[in-house]
């Protein structure tokens, strides 16, 4: 049976930290579905459609990576797409505490296990909300954006 994982998040926007987690997870899984969720607690900056489009662009040549959007409970979406694992990245002990609670609840509600990869040291401080702030205020966030989408995001913001 294929080992399928979903990698859920807001990805508003998708950063080099997210890209690195996905690329490293491909040794563990046959298929990784990057799942762009609506999070009612977070106000969106880029539309879900744009986020999906840009992430697809990063991985267009990798048949093991798919990109989908979803609404509702993450475990329901995982079940719907046949994933047995939820992939998440960990940067800090605060991430760990937050993720532990969610992962344990998800496991109690389903058969789905969460798998965590630690961020690379150089990505520890990369986070979508800081990147958003830089972009919002006209700064250059290129350092934190995957190569394949830097130009797209910069062009989009100049329009
Ligand atoms: P959410 O809204 O679910 O927190 P994010 O888009 O912020 O979604 O993050 C999605 C996943 O990527 C989470 O598991 C988060 O911990 C992880 N992540 C975010 N930034 C990084 C990074 N720089 N390095 C490693 N993992 C990261």
Neighbours of 44 (CB within 10 A): 13
| Most ligand 1 atoms within 8 A of CB, residue of 89, 124, 145 to mutate | 89
Please give the average per-residue pLDDT across 12-22, as a whole number: 98
List residues near ligand 1 (CB under 6 A).
Answer: 9-11, 15, 17-18, 21, 39, 88-89, 91, 95, 119, 123, 126-128
pLDDT tens digit sequence for 89-139: 999 999 999 999 999 999 999 999 999 999 999 999 999 999 999 999 999
Ligand 1 centroid from CA 82, angstroms:
22
Work out the mean pLDDT of the chain and round it to a whole number: 95
Ligand 1 centroid from CA 23, angstroms:
14
Ligand 1 centroid from CA 41, angstroms:
15
pLDDT tens digit sequence for 22-45: 999 999 999 999 999 987 676 899
Domains of the chain and any CATH numbers: 4-152 (3.40.50.620)
Confidence of residue 2 (pLDDT cuts 50, 70, 90): very high
pLDDT of residue 98: 95
Confidence of residue 1 (pLDDT cuts 50, 70, 90): confident
The catalytic residues are 18, 42, 91, 128
Please state the φ and ψ torsions of residue 5, each to the nearest 5 degrees: -125, 150
Residue pointed to by tokens 């690195």: 20
| Most ligand 1 atoms within 8 A of CB, residue of 88, 92, 99, 141 to mutate | 88
Closest CA relative to residue 144, chosen from 55, 36, 13 = 13
* pLDDT at residue 73 tops 80: yes
Are 110 and 79 contacting, i.e. CB atoms less than 8 angstroms apart? yes
pLDDT of residue 159: 74
pLDDT of residue 25: 98
- Residue with CA at minimum distance from ligand 1 atom 23: 17
Please give the average per-residue pLDDT across 141-159, as a whole number: 91
- Structure-block tokens of residue 57: 């662009």
């Amino acid at each position: 049976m294929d080992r399928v994982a979903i990698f859920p998040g807001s990805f508003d926007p998708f950063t080099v930290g997210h890209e690195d987690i996905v690329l490293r997870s491909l040794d563990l899984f046959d298929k990784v579905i990057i799942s762009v969720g609506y999070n009612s607690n977070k106000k969106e900056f880029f539309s879900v459609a744009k986020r999906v489009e840009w992430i697809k662009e990063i991985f267009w040549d990798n048949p093991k990576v798919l990109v989908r959007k979803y609404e509702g409970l993450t475990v329901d979406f995982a079940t719907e797409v046949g994933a047995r694992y939820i992939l998440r990245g960990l940067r800090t002990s605060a991430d760990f505490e937050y993720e532990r609670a969610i992962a344990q609840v998800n496991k109690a509600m389903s058969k789905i296990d969460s798998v965590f990869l630690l961020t690379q040291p150089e990505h520890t401080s990369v986070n979508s909300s800081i990147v958003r702030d830089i972009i919002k205020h006209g700064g250059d966030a290129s350092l934190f954006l995957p190569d394949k989408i830097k130009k797209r995001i910069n062009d989009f913001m100049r329009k």
